[in-house]
Amino acid sequence: MKLAFLFPGQGSQKPGLLNELPACIAVENVLAAASETLNESIFNFHSKEALASTKAVQLSLLTAGVAAFKAFEAEGVKADFVAGHSIGAFSAAVAAGVIDFQDAVKIVELRGELMEQAYPEGYGMGVVLGMEAHKLQALVDYHFDEKYPVFMANQNAPDQITVSGALSGIQKVLDAAWKNDARCASLLNVSTPSHCPLLASVSDALTEALHDIPIHRPVIPYAGNRRARLLLDPVDIRLDLAESISSAVQWHDASTVLYEKGVRLFIEMPPGNVLSRLAAKAFPDARVLSVAENGFDDCQFIAKRERLK
Amino acid sequence: MMEATKQVVNQKRSWTTRLDAKKKRLESVKDLVNGLVIPTDRIVEAMEKLIRPGDRVVLEGNNQKQASFLSQALAQTNPKNLFDLHMIMSSISRPEHLDIFEQGIAKKVDFAYAGPQSLRMAQMLEDGKLTMGEIHTYIELYGRLFVDLIPSVALVAADKADRHGNLYTGPNTEETPTLVEAAAFRDGIVIVQVNELTDELPRVDIPGSWVDFIVVADEPYELEPLFTRDPRHITDIQILQAMMVIRGIYEKHGVQSLNHGIGYNTAAIELLLPTYAESLGLKGKICKHWTLNPHPTLIPAIESGWVDSVHCFGGEVGMEKYVAARRDVFFTGRDGSLRSNRTLSQMAGQYAVDLFIGSTLQIDRDGNSSTVTRGRLAGYGGAPNMGHDPGGRRHSTPAWLNMMTSEDPLARGKKLVVQVVETFQTGNKPVFVESLDAIDVKKDTGLAVAPVMIYGDDVTHVVTEEGIAYLYKTDSMEKRRQALAAVAGVTPVGLTHDSKKTDELRREGIIALPEDLQIRRTDAKRSLLAAKSVEEIVEWSGGLYEPPAKFRSW
């Protein structure tokens, strides 16, 4: 049975999240490496107050994902595939061996800073449930306005899609979605219009920064955010990491590719269970676990047992 | 002069190039094989010699049985030695079926169904990683194996072989004989993976003279229990629909021979035969002859004496002992086990039965239906073979004749093609839509035709929770659309319906509501099911049905 590790993105954070990582040397090493690179304790980034900053959130998520991955590795649990949502893609790239963790910390620090600075106010994201992509796309096209642009963003499930852009544009789309029988349409509590062309400048800066660090061939195939392809060329993965922030994340397709490749056990790295819930709904006959809900010990026990099948 | 030219031509040309090429290939592995047997651990090496770049390779795999050992071995061959293969596959189901394209071993594909790999299919087509031949129904693909897609190599699966290459395929014979025949009788090479090599076979399903090589697989071929429906999941609405179908279609037209889809709504019909249909005195009048896999949900009807005969496309995991113990009903071999044959059962289901009934995901206002999803490339399989009125049919049956609506002396009957759907799918998606997603899929993927599963002009009846639309009775496109809209509920298509027209359509017999069929909605209860769970099906079978673990909740 094939196993995939999933790395969550922004929205999964919670105060004190690093305290919930399994206690082992592999985890301690990752935490220490993060602190060393940042010249500051990584534990300064996961408090309730600190998590108000996008940069702190992203650094905490990156560290938690990689630390948990290393803990599994130390136990001898190896994944056949990895995929991460948005910032989680950086954790996945580290897990795949494409970029080094300390380089990832620097790049993610930059990513967080650039995102915070990009659109201080008047921009954000919304989510629409219970409406198919092509119908929502039609509403987005109809309400697009140069002054208050709005874009389709992440496709998390066939009926769970985010929109991104100027708040007034988003609001128009959400109102129209309600009128057109969406099950739910609401603003998200984020102030950055992520995963749309408004963040093209962040992608450009990341492209440059990523060119300055070494990249390696993945030892585990990586499912990309942008086109939901399984990527084996490190150059393609680097491009995916840079472009993801200004492109829609095709998460449903990316996880579907893993399923079609034979994955029947998905384990979501901490914190949270957003991705495992999506996977459980999309693939009813697959086994889906999250470290947050099932605990590290159960996850690694089941992974070892299922791998023998 | 003429004579002389003929002689020159005949002298120049060899008429045995295919056989010569085959002999050369067989010669190339003579140090590797032991008689007919390829050692398990040398299969990859043998494939690299027996298959050549550019070959047309038919790889066995459908929605049930997969030549999984051979497909995995093919994926391990070196693309430097083996490339540009043209694959012919009934079903693209397993990851390595597409890995061989990613690795450059294969290039072109002709297939019937790709549901389990439908996203990767769409991606790889878009990325130019595979070249698309055509998408077929099963019968079309089998047909082309004997015309313009004749395979150079056949890679198939059997349960057992003996030292002479005779094969036992048992209950899961499926399409193996067809694939082997196409290669074996035109000097192609036939390689068979078997679960077991044995001295004595229970029976011979494929004679050894059709087979070139056998290889014992490291594990048994993959087999999916695809036709098992747990009655626990059948809803009251599906029971209401089943009652309408029994009264308003099977009884009304005297349907004696038929094929069922694999949905819960048709499982409900099977489970109402010994109860509801029995109470209407219909036993012996309807549902006697089936082209159908051994559906566990048919057991109560068989046990109650409803069923004369069943011919199967394939087997069903867990039904082996039951089938063997009911050989008056099923096709069985001398050894007692089921003999299935996908090609012949598809053909029978297309030409010889009164009725097909199945479900779908989308129906447009003209009655065309499709199961495709945007961004996916899933193909067809067998449903369009069953779900279509073969225009060349000559023989008549009462139900077929009952579809005649004209006094024309040349008038002919029609096969009954029934779609049974609830007006909304789960997730609040309407089934009745203005335009099929299939049209977008055609545009996005550059297909030659939109992937319509069943064409509207073949559909005779549509059944929803609202009622039955007797489309075969309509004499104009406008009337047809009215009839469909009248049973389409509050979907976009249903909302175009003028409810004042309903009574007129009822009077004309173009639609029927449950009350027109003397069915009370409140009577449609799960208590009508002859078996309400898998355990109860096992009880009906006297313990002969042995459900796979995933269907055992006790």
- Within 8 A of A227 by CB-CB distance, chain B residues are 123
pLDDT at B554: 66
Enter the tokens of residue B215. Answer: 């290889």
For chain B, the residue count is: 554
Q: What is the pLDDT of residues B385-439, one digit of tens each?
A: 999 999 899 999 999 999 999 999 999 999 999 999 999 987 778 999 999 999 9
| Residues of chain B above pLDDT 70, percent | 98
Enter the tokens of residue B102. Answer: 């990613």
- Within 8 A of A256 by CB-CB distance, chain B residues are 119
Q: Among A46, A85, A143, A195, which one carries the catalytic annotation?
A: A195
Mean pLDDT of the residues in chain B: 95
Regarding an ipTM greater than 0.85, the answer is: yes
Three-class SS state of A161: strand
Q: Are B353 and B291 in contact (CB under 8 A)?
A: yes
Enter the tokens of residue B554. Answer: 């006790």
What's the CA gap between A143 and B241, in Å, rounded?
A: 42
Q: What is the pLDDT of residues B55-73, one digit of tens each?
A: 999 999 988 899 999 999 9
What's the CA gap between A134 and A129, in Å, rounded?
A: 13
Q: Using a CB–CB cutoff of 8 Å, tell me whether B443 touches chain A.
A: no
Q: Give the C-alpha distances (Å, rounded to integers) separating B491 from B217, B459, B508.
A: 51, 20, 24
Instruction: List chain A residues with pLDDT less than 50.
Output: none
* Interface probe with A: pick from B124, B428, B444, most Cβ of A within 10 Å: B428
* Termini Cα distance of chain A: 6
| pTM reported for the whole predicted model | 0.94
- Within 8 A of B94 by CB-CB distance, chain A residues are 262
Characterize the bridge pairing of strands B257-260 and B65-66: unpaired
pLDDT at A307: 77
Dihedral, B306, B309, B311, B314 alpha carbons, nearest 10: 50
Q: What is the pLDDT of residues B481-503, one digit of tens each?
A: 999 999 999 998 999 998 889 99
pLDDT at A250: 98
Helix (H) / strand (E) containing B438: helix B437-445
pLDDT at B8: 63
Name the A residues in 183-202 with CB < 8 Å from any B CB: 183
Q: What is the pLDDT of residues B210-219, one digit of tens each?
A: 999 999 999 9
Burial class from Cβ neighbours inside 10 Å (0-12, 13-18, 19+) for residue A106 reads middle
Report the alpha-carbon angle A74-A76-A82, nearest 5: 90
Q: Say whether A195 is catalytic.
A: yes
Quick check: B9 pLDDT over 70?
Answer: no
Q: Using a CB–CB cutoff of 8 Å, tell me whether A250 touches chain B.
A: no
- Within 8 A of B429 by CB-CB distance, chain A residues are 132
Q: Say whether A164 is catalytic.
A: no
Q: Do A260 and B95 touch (CB under 8 A)?
A: yes
What's the CA gap between B527 and B234, in Å, rounded?
A: 11
What's the CA gap between B344 and B142, in Å, rounded?
A: 11
